């Protein structure tokens, strides 16, 4: 633990639980103040708030559906009102749905794309003018390894996660000359509410496919985010970091 992020402000979407919670705690442990963004689980978001306040950092908790531009505008105003600055934007909020492509309704398709891809676009767009003004900032999109491998049970999720790579690269090109780095992380299996094992996908079979023979933990992803927000990654932009215990290798 360092105080490297003292007086920095991070917006972490989907920080009420899972990977987003891990990211919020890791950045706070290193001195950042945190805007916890959640959609529905206020109680869980408040628990994360309490943990961060116990570390001595400032926190705001904002209910915001990242797919709705009016909510995102409110998120932007809340952060600016509290701190007048943002240093790190972590687009982590995401949903998925296990269905074959031919079973998906148009509504299913749009819901997943709206949250996972449009949400990252809207949140990034909201905070970019401020980062451009101060010529500094770090933006990290949480994608997925399925963007590289494809998946046979949720094409809309995989497409949204692939879109995040293109978004990261294009944002990186636009913003590289303005002191703003934009990167993506592609997690493998991480032990959260999102990942469910059953007779069709038994845990022991999944572990066989992972060279390190363990599921990732939220902190594994959070440490990569911390690196991408730190001075150690100053010369890294438009890249994807795979954090997956060796599940896929590029």
Binding segment for ligand NAP among 89-97, 130-138, 176-184, 206-214 (CB under 6 A)? 89-97
Q: For the CB of residue 30, give the shortest distance to ligand NAP in the complex, in Å.
A: 20
- Of 14, 137, 163, 245, the one binding ligand NAP (CB under 6 A) is 14
What are the tokens at 56?
Answer: 């001595």
Q: How many residues bind ligand NAP (CB under 6 A)?
A: 30
Options 157, 189, 235, 250, the catalytic residue: 157
User: By CB under 6 A, is residue 39 in contact with ligand NAP?
Assistant: yes
Q: H-helix or E-strand containing 62?
A: strand 59-63
Sheet holding 59-63, edge to edge: 59-63, 33-38, 9-13, 88-91, 137-142, 180-187, 240-243
194 binds ligand NAP per the rule CB under 6 A? yes
The answer for residues whose C-beta is within 8 angstroms of residue 142's C-beta and 6 or more apart is 19, 20, 90, 91, 92, 94, 164, 184, 185, 187, 221, 225
Kindly provide the b/e burial profile for residues 21-39, where b requires at least 16 CB atoms within 10 angstroms of the residue's own CB: bbbbbbbbbbbbbbbbbbb
- Tell me the window of 53-61, 63-71, 77-85, 100-108 that interacts with ligand NAP (CB under 6 A): 63-71
Would you state the structure tokens that stand for residue 141, as one six-digit string? 């999109």
Known catalytic residue: 157?
yes
**Binds ligand NAP (CB under 6 A): choice among 107, 193, 199, 204:** 193
**Residues near ligand NAP, by CB under 6 A:** 13-14, 16-20, 37-41, 64-67, 92-95, 115, 142, 144, 187, 189-190, 192-195
Residues labelled as active-site residues: 157
């Amino acid at each position: 633990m360092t105080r490297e992020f003292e007086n920095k402000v991070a917006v972490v979407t989907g920080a009420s639980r899972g990977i987003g919670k891990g990211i919020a705690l890791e950045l706070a442990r290193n001195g950042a103040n945190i805007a916890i963004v959640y959609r529905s689980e206020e109680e869980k978001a408040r628990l994360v708030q309490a943990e961060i306040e116990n570390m001595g950092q400032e926190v705001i908790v904002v209910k915001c559906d990242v797919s709705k531009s009016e909510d995102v505008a409110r998120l932007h105003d809340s952060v600016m009102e509290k701190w007048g600055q943002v240093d790190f934007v972590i687009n982590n909020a995401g949903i998925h749905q296990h269905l074959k492509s031919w079973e998906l309704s148009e509504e299913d398709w749009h819901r997943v794309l709206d949250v996972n891809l449009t949400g990252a676009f809207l949140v990034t767009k909201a905070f970019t003018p401020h980062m451009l003004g101060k010529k500094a900032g770090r933006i990290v999109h949480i994608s997925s390894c399925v963007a590289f491998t494809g998946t046979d049970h949720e094409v809309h999720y995989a497409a949204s996660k692939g879109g995040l790579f293109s978004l990261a690269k294009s944002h990186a090109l636009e913003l590289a000359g303005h002191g703003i780095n934009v990167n993506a992380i592609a997690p493998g299996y991480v032990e959260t509410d999102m990942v469910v094992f059953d007779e069709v996908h038994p845990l022991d079979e999944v572990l066989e496919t992972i060279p390190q023979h363990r599921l990732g933990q939220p902190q594994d992803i959070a440490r990569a985010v911390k690196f991408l927000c730190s001075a150690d990654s100053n010369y890294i932009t438009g890249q994807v970091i795979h954090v997956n215990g060796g599940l896929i290798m590029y």
